[in-house]
Amino acid sequence: MAGKILLVDDDEDIIEMLRYNLEKEGYKIKSAPNGLEGLEQASEFGPDLILMDIMMPIMDGIEAGRQIKAHESLKNIHIIYLTARAEEFSEIAAFEAGADDYLTKPIKPRALVSRINAFFRKESRKNTDEAILSIGGLEINRNNYSVTKADGSEVVLPKKEFELLYHLAKKPNKVQSRSELLQKIWGADVYVVERTVDVHIRKVREKLGEDTIKTLKGLGYMFNNKD
């Protein structure tokens, strides 16, 4: 089944270029000229992936990303930002809003298509992994990206926060460096600052407790298995 991709950008030339190249690969494409219409299209179209600009009228891409991730029926949609903003603070804001990747313009169409094809292959492989982990007083369910605590309360994490927790929990009490986590969660071909890992770890701790993931100074992080 072809993947569904939503393009959100106020530049019609970029939209048409992306549409042409992605439809050739068999993807189903819809588009929107700003973040507000992107939200509406996300609800109606149900895309697997959104390629989104940041600087747009009416609603920018960062705010649109935040609202998508805050919406129960949309939170598992993947978001890749395509933007002319190359500053580190914009990149960090994008990942804090729930981005899966952050790419700066100008876009190289063939390289982008290859990256998207690889992205969908990676997601397909993830679906074959062990779906549920029971460890450290938590049940970590990859089917719905939820975590159930020992008291029965459920926590739903955004995609990257969940993947970090899941990856660390698969190797409990084993230290993993920031660079290793970046490669495993974001991919070797994605440039992301190491601080991004720290931001996501902090958010996981806020929801599951400070002692869920331990920091080993100068080395990295590990899941604290208390069983």
Same domain, 12 and 97: yes
The residues, any chain, with a CB within 8 Å of residue 33's CB and separated by 6 or more, are 8, 9, 10, 12, 15, 56, 57
Same domain, 36 and 22: yes
Domain count for the chain, please give it. Answer: 2
Mean predicted lDDT score pLDDT of the chain: 88
- The last residue of one of the domains, among 126, 149, 179, is 126
Distance, in Å, from the CA atom of 35 to the CA atom of 14, rounded to the nearest integer, reads 16
For β-strands 213-216 and 220-223, DSSP reports them as: antiparallel
CATH of the domain at 159: 1.10.10.10
Distance, in Å, from the CA atom of 225 to the CA atom of 207, rounded to the nearest integer, reads 17
Same domain, 115 and 145: no
| pLDDT for residue 227 | 60
Look up the domain containing 36 and give its range. Answer: 4-126
Task: Compute the average pLDDT of residues 29-58.
Answer: 96
DSSP code string of 95-153: HHTT-SEEEESSP-HHHHHHHHHHHHHHHHHHTTS--EEEETTEEEETTTTEEEETTS-
Q: Specify the 3-state DSSP secondary structure of 68.
A: helix
Is pLDDT above 80 for 190?
Answer: no
| pLDDT for residue 100 | 86
Same domain, 101 and 168: no
Contact 213, 222 (CB under 8 A): yes
- The last residue of one of the domains, among 70, 102, 126, is 126
Encoded amino acid at 214, one letter: K
pTM, to two decimals: 0.63
Is pLDDT above 90 for 168?
Answer: yes
CATH of the domain at 62: 3.40.50.2300
